Structure 1
């Protein structure tokens, strides 16, 4: 359990690093006239992701979930891949990446890196992490609950992002409208 708690703490530290990057990127974006959308769902997103981390530890401890190597090791690989994908997204978007929905007017949509393959690759990373982190230590209730709640939240989030991009003047407008049709 100690090694798993250390793993969850490492993921939590990674999330704090994301928030530090996002805060700096938010300042950069706002200085360029960005608009912020989706403030209503953001607290639910923070609560859900915090709940994922807590749920992993609580379920493993209270339900005495064992580490099953046949499941745990592959899930650790999926978790590592999800982190790599997330930081590839962050690196590709540069100062435009954020945990909030922030659009800088006049900037074109990013179509490089993982965005040449998927419209929302960061959410692939979130989904993979939400399944893999709990299943590293067979916390299947946490994995299932996060997956269901995250699916609902991502429906709201993706719609919000698409609407924010479509409402933005400049090169992103036509691309967002084309992608939505």
Structure 2
């Protein structure tokens, strides 16, 4: 059994985008550290990497082992949501500029970004991750992977958002104030 070529292409495209993002994150980390940046939540970062790799592997495994088919009524709308999620992530990255990272690195002298999607939410990239974590597996009806990723990712996001809030708003550590 092999996964459909369309799924392999989609997963390869997402993996390629992630590798480009990791390159940008590495450059942005160098920029931040050169300006006195401080990293927070370092211990939970490897779990995030494993979780996101498991998402891609889980989709391939579930589609292959459970013989999941592309269901147009679910697949096409999920592909549209996935495309919007990619655009949303690009918007977040553009708004944050060199402050965007996959790690939590805060430059003490850098202003808090309140433009782009950050005008309306403190953590818009995580909304993107949630949408992507549901839509990507469902493109090929990998509903078990979508459910498992969403549950584990929700727990991870609690940890991650708390770390970011402590880093960005140390006086309160709250997403609601600051």
Report the TM range for the smaller structure's normalisation. Answer: over 0.9
Match of 1:139 in 2: 142
Query: In the alignment, which residue of structure 2 is the partner of 1:180?
Result: 177
- The residue number in structure 2 matching 1:42 is 45
**Partners of 2:104 and 2:98 in 1: how far apart?**
13
1:8 aligns with 2:5: no
Cα deviation for residue 66 of structure 1 reads 0.9
In the alignment, the residues of structure 1 paired with residue 150 and residue 91 of structure 2 have an alpha-carbon distance, to the nearest angstrom, of 22
Runs of 4+ in 1 over 2 A off after TM superposition: 176-181
The CA distance in 2 between the partners of 1:83 and 1:60, in whole Å, is: 22
Match of 2:169 in 1: 166
Q: Distance in 2 between matches of 1:52 and 1:114?
A: 25
TM-score (normalizing by structure 2):
0.94
CA separation of 1:8 and 1:25: change in aligned 2, threshold 3 A: same
The 1-side partners of 2:136 and 2:59 are apart by 7
Determine helix, strand or coil for the equivalent of 1:18: helix
The within-5 A match list for 1:73-112 is: 73-112=76-115
Could you tell me how far 1:164 is from its partner in structure 2? Answer: 0.9
Task: Give the Cα separation in 1 of the matches to 2:101 and 2:175.
Answer: 23
Q: Which moved more, 1:141-150 or 1:104-113?
A: 104-113
1:68 maps to what in 2? 71
> In 1, distance between residues paired with 2:144 and 2:58?
9
- Count residues in correspondence: 175
Segments of structure 1 that go 5 or more residues without pairing to the other structure are: 168-172
Distance (Å, rounded) in 2 between the aligned partners of 1:177 and 1:108: 18
Asked if the contact 2:166–2:174 (Cα under 8 Å) also holds between the matched residues in 1, the reply is no
Contact 1:162 1:180 in 2 (8 A): no
CA separation of 1:19 and 1:123: change in aligned 2, threshold 3 A: same
The corresponding residue for 1:25 is 28
SS of 2:39's partner is strand
> Post-superposition shift, 1:117?
1.5
Q: Which residue of 1 aligns with 2:62?
A: 59
Superposition CA RMSD, Å: 1.5
Spell out the pairing of 1:114-129 with structure 2 (5 A cutoff).
Answer: 114-129=117-132
Measure, in 1, the Cα distance between the counterparts of 2:71 and 2:174. 46
Deviation at 1:166, TM superposition (A): 2.3
Q: Any unmatched runs of 5+ in structure 2?
A: none
